[in-house]
Amino acid sequence: MRHRLILNEITHTFEDGGMQRTVLDRLSLQVAEGELVAVMGPSGSGKSTFLSIAGALLKPTSGEVLLDGESMAGKEKQALSDMRLHKLGFIFQNANLIPYLKVEEQLMLVAKLGDMSRAKANDRIGELLHKLGLDHRRHAYPEKLSGGERQRVAIARALMNDPAVLLADEPTASLDAGRGMDVVGMIAREAKERGKSAIMVTHDERVLSLCDRVLYLEHGSLIEKY
């Protein structure tokens, strides 16, 4: 089985009031293609640090992250930025859409940054908006969208460059139960249909039935309870 994201013996420490604090302690995880893994844990347990390291936004104190078999260790800032653009899709708690860009323009910006041809970008935009039920919102500004629609646009933006790995940080926090299930269902289907690895940090127990595994971050390590 192919694992598109692998974290090996990840440790991360930082200084807190003159003391060294260990947030992640030799944490290891392999996420297979087609798999959606939920990560839960109390506030302050290191979930944000974990996701930042998995997404090449933060360098661990020690250990190695491999993305599609390629190590992130020792890479220059620009190389990591390129990996994030082409290999990683981020979905955040808040959609964080650019207020002055229409839905289509939000996605086209990502395509341009990824050097995608305009013809291919138009095809991809049409495909994603249709799949996410947003055809009729193609030319709408974010202020005209509902909360669920904005989150679906954020998912489309994360998928625009067909990343190998999806990382979602509390994607249902601002949604009601029905919309939350819809959003996580979309993430799960995208992982399975297109062979992606997906990790979702969440407090929302309502959506756990849609996940392949549920892990808890405790004392710097991941523990599987389901």
Find the CATH number of the domain harbouring 187: 3.40.50.300
- The residue-averaged pLDDT of 102-126 equals 94
pLDDT, tens digit, 9 for 90 and up, residues 119-152:
999 999 999 999 888 999 999 999 999 888 898 8
DSSP letter at 136 equals G
Determine the Cα angle at 175 with ends 169 and 179, to 5°. Answer: 105
Is 200 part of a structural domain of the chain?
yes
CA–CA gap between residue 139 and residue 104 (Å, rounded): 6
CA–CA gap between residue 45 and residue 24 (Å, rounded): 9
Which has more pLDDT, 14 or 16? 14
The residue range of the domain holding 100 is: 35-56+76-224
Across-strand partners of 6?
Answer: 30, 66
Which pLDDT band holds residue 98 (cuts at 50, 70, 90)? very high
Asked whether the CA dihedral 82, 87, 92, 94 is positive or negative, the reply is positive
Is 69 part of a structural domain of the chain?
no
Length of the chain measured in residues: 226
Is 179 part of a structural domain of the chain?
yes
Is 64 part of a structural domain of the chain?
no
Is 17 part of a structural domain of the chain?
no
Work out the percent of the chain whose per-residue pLDDT is above 90. Answer: 68
Buried b (16+ CB within 10 A) or exposed e, 117-127: eeeebeebbee
Burial class (CB in 10 A: 0-12, 13-18, 19+), 105: middle
Q: Output the pLDDT for position 64.
A: 95
Residues whose CB falls within 8 Å of the CB of residue 165, separated by 6 or more in sequence, listed in order: 4, 5, 31, 54, 67, 68, 87, 88, 89, 196, 197, 198, 199
CA–CA gap between residue 137 and residue 133 (Å, rounded): 9
CA–CA gap between residue 24 and residue 41 (Å, rounded): 13
- The residue-averaged pLDDT of 28-53 equals 94
Which has more pLDDT, 26 or 93? 26
Other CB atoms within 10 Å distance of the CB of residue 17: 5
pLDDT, tens digit, 9 for 90 and up, residues 53-84:
999 999 999 999 999 989 988 888 899 998 89
Q: Output the pLDDT for position 217.
A: 95
Q: Is the pLDDT of residue 226 over 70?
A: no
Is 25 part of a structural domain of the chain?
no
Is 213 part of a structural domain of the chain?
yes
Domain count, the chain: 1
Residues whose CB falls within 8 Å of the CB of residue 23, separated by 6 or more in sequence, listed in order: 12, 13, 14, 46, 49, 220
Which pLDDT band holds residue 20 (cuts at 50, 70, 90)? confident
Q: Is the pLDDT of residue 188 over 80?
A: yes
- The residue-averaged pLDDT of 99-105 equals 96
Which pLDDT band holds residue 19 (cuts at 50, 70, 90)? confident
Q: Is the pLDDT of residue 173 over 90?
A: no
Q: Is the pLDDT of residue 163 over 90?
A: yes
